Structure formats: structure tokens, C-alpha cells
Structure 1
Amino acid sequence: MGSPRYLLLAVVILTYFATVLANVTLMLLIFLDTSLHKPMHIFLFSLILNGLMGSTAVWPMVMNILLTNSPLISYEGCLIQAFFIITYGSCNFSMLTVMAYDRFVSIFKPLQYHTIMTPKRVKQLLFLANVGPTALVLFQICLSSQLSLCRYKVNKLYCDNVSITRLSCGGSHAIKNRISNLYGIVCIIVIVALPMVLIVSSYVKIIMFTFKASKTARKKTFDTCFSHIIVFINFSLVTLFSLIYNRLSAYLPGEYNIVASINYILVPPLLHPIIYGIKTKEFRQRFSRAWRKIAIRQGV
């Protein structure tokens, strides 16, 4: 049994290392290149940072479990992990909503873009997209922490709010469980369903606009929005998959646990630098320029 475990450990380490390296490289490129200090890239920086937070909340712990063969976590540690994982998903949707708004303004109000997307407005949007969902999630975790536990085994690769509430007692404690579940449903509506509706409606309008635009404008619009649409579709699908799995996990084989975890936590942060770094011409040009400068300094 040891050999497959260490093989899986090697795969997790390599994948996590590749995720961190690729994302940090893209973040450094945005931070150091002043020509990339635009609203869209600032929002992307926040999206990437959030993805790294989600990955780091899970995979180092998984590495430790595989290395020590001791799948134990304290209740406090479980609550903290759940907070970061739920915050990761919530802030991802809010940031994708902000990015969709940015693209909407740039396409439908190009002459007013810089008067609308001012540095002050960018800071306000960043604040709302990160602090708002974080506050909602923090209150959710506070509610969950008040539940009395009668079970102590989490049947998932990581802790989340659904896993914690399933450990709680029934009977006289059921009212707290119902309140926590009801608040969780409200949170899903506010930080998942509503952003999805806003994003889809904005991109539908953008796509309808491209049908009426010239071929040049259509190509420019496609280049501008392609990466965002792909990232949104990918994260929406893995989130829906994760939500469905949470409701059916008791009836599904354990292998689906790993698939759901990888799809939700590992895949999106790994895809961000690939989609934006490779598919976006501006990033490719800046990266090539930075690489040439490094090569010249090293005398290569």
C-alpha cells in the first residue's frame, strides 16, 4: 500500500508546485510590469491570489496525510479550512462578476471606460468582491461552530460547511442545524446564483453585440472576452459538480470524493495561468520581453 500512496504524494506535490509556480509567475508579471496595471489585470491578480489561497488550504494538508498516513484534523482546523475553501469559491464568483462588468463597460462604453473604471472605482470593486463574501462566509462558519457534534468522521478530502453540519447532533440541537442550513442556502443564492445570473446576462449581451458588429470589432471583442468566458464556464461547472456531489455524497463511491475535490480545488487555479498566460496575446508579449531581459542579464 505504501508505493501507491507515495506515487500519489509525488503527483500532488508536482501538481501543486506547478500551480504555485505558474500563478506566482503571472502575478509577478502583473505586479512588475507597469503597462499591465490596468483594471482587468488588477482583478485578475486578485482572482489568481484567491485561487492560490484555495489550493493552499487543501493540498499541503493532503500531502501531510499521504506522508504520515494519519488523516486527522482538529475541529478548529476543520473550521479554518472550511472558511478558506468556501471563501475561495465565493470570492471567485464575485471577482468573475467584477471582471465581467469590466469587460461590459469596455465594450459598450469604450469612450467612457477610463472615467468609469477609475482607480477609486477599482478599489471599491475589489473591496466589495473580497470583503463582502468573506464576511458572509465568516458568519456561516460562526454558526457552524456553535453546533454540537455527535460524529467525528468527515467523508471528504477536505472540510466544508456541509461536512461539518452532517457531524452535528439531531434532537434538541436540530434547530441550530436548520438555521445553519438555511443561512447556507441564502449564501449560495447571494454568492453563487446571483453572480452567475449577472455574468451570463452580461456575456449574452456581449455576444449579441458581436453579431451586429463589424468583423474587426467582433474579433477584438472575442479576444477580449474569450479567456474570461472560459474561466467562468470552467469554474461554474466544477462548482455545480461539487454542489451536486455534496448532496449525493452519501450515495456515491468514495472515488467521487477525490474527483470532486480535484475538480473544485486544484483544476481552476492551475488553469488560470494557462488560459490567461497562453491565450492572452498581451501576457505572451510581456512574458517574452521579461524572459529576454533575464536572458540578456545572465549572458545567455
Structure 2
Amino acid sequence: MANATAVNFIHLTGLSHMSQRLRLLLFAVTSLCYAAILLVNGVLIVTIILDKKLHEPMCFFLCNLCVNGLYGTVAFFPKFLHDLLSKSHIISYFGCLMQVFVIYSYAASEIAVLAVMAYDRYVAICRPLQYHSIMTKCRVLLLVTFSRLTPLLCQAVVVIMTSKLELCGSHINKVYCENWSLIQLSCSPATANDIVGFGNILFYFGHDLFIMCSYVQLVKLALRSKEGRKKFMQTCVPHLLCLFNVTVALLFDLMYARYGTSSMPQSLKNFMAIQILAIPPLLNPIIYGLRLSKVRNNVLKYCRRKKV
């Protein structure tokens, strides 16, 4: 405890190894990536809101997924783009905690929304005659609220517990603030924080198990008929691709945060850190836009109107 200091700023050292020329190149690529994320998610959100034919549960959940993608990226990309052009890479301690809260709640919401979408697909394919009586407006609202509010509450507990720690350092070897890195700066063991953190991981791992179990039932039913296989390919394959995309990204991030070694190249560390904030928000709306004919056709129709 003797070495504890009042930390007002956190130094992010993930870009310290990078040359100015490489930073400018990365700035251009990142700017294009962020613009693409804003565009594809924005187009899908606007299309679903404006077209009443898309006002159905699956499209509302897809809209929720896109909104979550924008929510998560706003906590990372503006700051990261600023750091690429800046010589000092610091963030206030409060800003660091807020970044942790937004990024972690974004990742948790991503899994929660995909779990809700899996439930929707299960009801649509396994109980089609009861679909509209089960997926009422009230239940859709409850599911959307669950997928947004529960992650916020869980991550609020994590951040509040982290904020109580006394820190003996202020340098994090990443390009954004990460909870595990803050815990490692603690002057004393943070056993309670570790337990709560692992509890959150297990809770959302349970969401993945639920999705897998629901899809076992969906595959069994889809194989019985040609119509079932067609519906599965049209609406479930995009969901599975998004789930695979998010799960792999989260596993990379968790493995890096917990078990990353100093011998790993810094550029690889940076990639593993940011891919959860870049790949899912970019690919998810593209996957759904391409695979779901109803959404794709309405997006194309909306774009043609704008050209005219």
C-alpha cells in the first residue's frame, strides 16, 4: 500500500513502438473502417425504421444489434484516431473507467442480442403456428430490454469495483483501457474483482450454450423438410456467422488480456485488442444485409430512391 498513488491519468503505451509513417497509414485505414461501420449500420437501422414491412421481431433484433455496434465503436475509434495523430497517449482515469464500461457492456450486449435472436429463430421454426402469439410486442420489448439493460448492470458492478482499487501504476500496454489491465495495476490482490469478472464470463458463456442448444433443435427440425432447410439457410445461417464472428473475436481478446506474453509482437497485440471493436460491427450488418432477402431488397430499394 505504501506505493499507492492518486492516479488521475492513464498512459496507453500500445502505440509507442509505431513509427509516424505507419501511424498515418493506420489512421487512413482506421478512418475508412470506422466510416464503413457507420455507413452499413446506419443504412440498416434507417431502412428498418422507415419501412413498415420490416417492423417484425427479427428485424427489430437486427436493428438492436446494429445500434449496439455503433454504441461500442464510439468508445474506441474517436480516441484511437486521435492517438494515432498525437505524441502523447493519455486518458483521464474517469474516461478510462467509462471506456471500460462501454466496451465491456457492448461485448456483453452483443452476446445477449444474439441469444435473443436465437430464441426468436427457435420459436419461428420449431413453433411457427404459435410464433405471433409468443413473440408479441410486449415480449419483443422485454427481450430487447433484457439484452441492453442486463449487460449495463453487470458491467456497472465491474467498473464500480475497479474504481475502488488503489493503483500503484498508470501505464497500460494497450491501445484502449481494459479492466484486467487496471486490476493488474492494483497495489493489493483484487480477488473479489477476479471472482466477479469470471462470474460475468461464465454468465455470458451460458448465453453461448443456450444458442448452441437451440440450434441443435433447429438443425434437427430443418433436416426433416425442404421448406425447413430453406428457412434455416435464409435466416439462421447469418445468425450463426455473426455468432462465430463475435465468439472468435471475444476469445482472442480474453486470451490476449489474460495470457498474452511480452514476447508477442506489439502489432499482433494491438490487432487482437481492437478486432472485437472492428470486425463484428462491420461484418454483422453486411452478413444480414446480404443473406436476408427481405432486408437486402429494402436496402437496395431505399438506395435507388436516393439516387433518383
Tell me if TM exceeds 0.5: yes
**Partner letter of residue 199 of structure 1?**
I
Cα-Cα RMSD: 1.2
Q: Which residue pairs with 2:196 in the alignment?
A: 183
Q: Which residue pairs with 2:231 in the alignment?
A: 220
Q: What does the per-residue CA deviation read over 1:168-214, in whole Å, with 9 as the maximum and x for residues that have no partner?
A: 112xxx2xx11111111111111x21100000111111112222x22
User: Is the 8 Å Cα contact of residues 43 and 299 (structure 2) preserved in structure 1?
Assistant: no
- Pick from 175, 200, 208 the counterpart of residue 196 of structure 1: 208
Q: Does 1:230 align with 2:230?
A: no
**Partner letter of residue 241 of structure 1?**
F
Q: Does 1:281 align with 2:293?
A: yes
Q: Which residue pairs with 2:7 in the alignment?
A: none
Q: Which residue pairs with 1:61 in the alignment?
A: 79
Q: What does the per-residue CA deviation read over 1:108-156, in whole Å, with 9 as the maximum and x for residues that have no partner?
A: 1101100000000011111111111110110110000000000111111
- Pick from 229, 252, 255 the counterpart of residue 241 of structure 1: 252
Q: Does 1:90 align with 2:108?
A: yes
Worse-matched range after superposition: 284-293 or 55-64: 284-293
| Counterparts of 1:241 and 1:197, CA distance in 2 | 19
Q: Which stretches in structure 1 are left out of the alignment for 5+ residues?
A: none
**Partner letter of residue 142 of structure 1?**
I
Q: What does the per-residue CA deviation read over 1:61-102, in whole Å, with 9 as the maximum and x for residues that have no partner?
A: 111101122211111111000000000010111110000000
Deviation of 1:274 (Å): 1.1
User: Is the 8 Å Cα contact of residues 157 and 257 (structure 1) preserved in structure 2?
Assistant: no
SS of equivalent residue, structure 2 residue 165: coil
Q: Which residue pairs with 2:165 in the alignment?
A: 147
Q: Which residue pairs with 1:22 in the alignment?
A: 40
**Partner letter of residue 288 of structure 1?**
L
User: Is the 8 Å Cα contact of residues 125 and 228 (structure 2) preserved in structure 1?
Assistant: no
| Counterparts of 1:295 and 1:246, CA distance in 2 | 46
| Counterparts of 1:31 and 1:134, CA distance in 2 | 24
| Counterparts of 1:242 and 1:8, CA distance in 2 | 20
| Counterparts of 2:307 and 2:243, CA distance in 1 | 35
| Counterparts of 1:195 and 1:14, CA distance in 2 | 33
| Counterparts of 1:241 and 1:261, CA distance in 2 | 8
Quick one: percent identity of the two aligned structures? Answer: 37
- How many residues are aligned here? 289
Greater helix share, structure number: 1
| Counterparts of 1:185 and 1:2, CA distance in 2 | 38
Q: What does the per-residue CA deviation read over 1:31-79, in whole Å, with 9 as the maximum and x for residues that have no partner?
A: 1111111111111111111111111111111111011222111111110
**Partner letter of residue 185 of structure 1?**
F
**Partner letter of residue 156 of structure 1?**
K
Q: What does the per-residue CA deviation read over 1:2-59, in whole Å, with 9 as the maximum and x for residues that have no partner?
A: 2221111111111101111111011100111111111111111111111111111111
Give matches, 1:16-165, under 5 Å. 16-165=34-183
Q: Does 1:291 align with 2:271?
A: no
User: Is the 8 Å Cα contact of residues 161 and 193 (structure 2) preserved in structure 1?
Assistant: yes
User: Is the 8 Å Cα contact of residues 23 and 273 (structure 1) preserved in structure 2?
Assistant: yes
User: Is the 8 Å Cα contact of residues 30 and 37 (structure 1) preserved in structure 2?
Assistant: yes
Deviation of 1:293 (Å): 2.4
Give matches, 1:163-178, under 5 Å. 163-170=181-188, 174=189, 177-178=190-191
Q: What does the per-residue CA deviation read over 1:240-280, in whole Å, with 9 as the maximum and x for residues that have no partner?
A: 11111111224433222211123211000000121011222
Q: Which residue pairs with 2:14 in the alignment?
A: none
Q: Which stretches in structure 2 are left out of the alignment for 5+ residues?
A: 1-18
- Pick from 251, 257, 261 the counterpart of residue 273 of structure 2: 261
Q: TM-score, normalised by structure 1?
A: 0.93
SS of equivalent residue, structure 1 residue 159: coil
| Counterparts of 2:38 and 2:159, CA distance in 1 | 27
Deviation of 1:288 (Å): 2.1
Q: What does the per-residue CA deviation read over 1:275-299, in whole Å, with 9 as the maximum and x for residues that have no partner?
A: 0112221112112222232333xxx
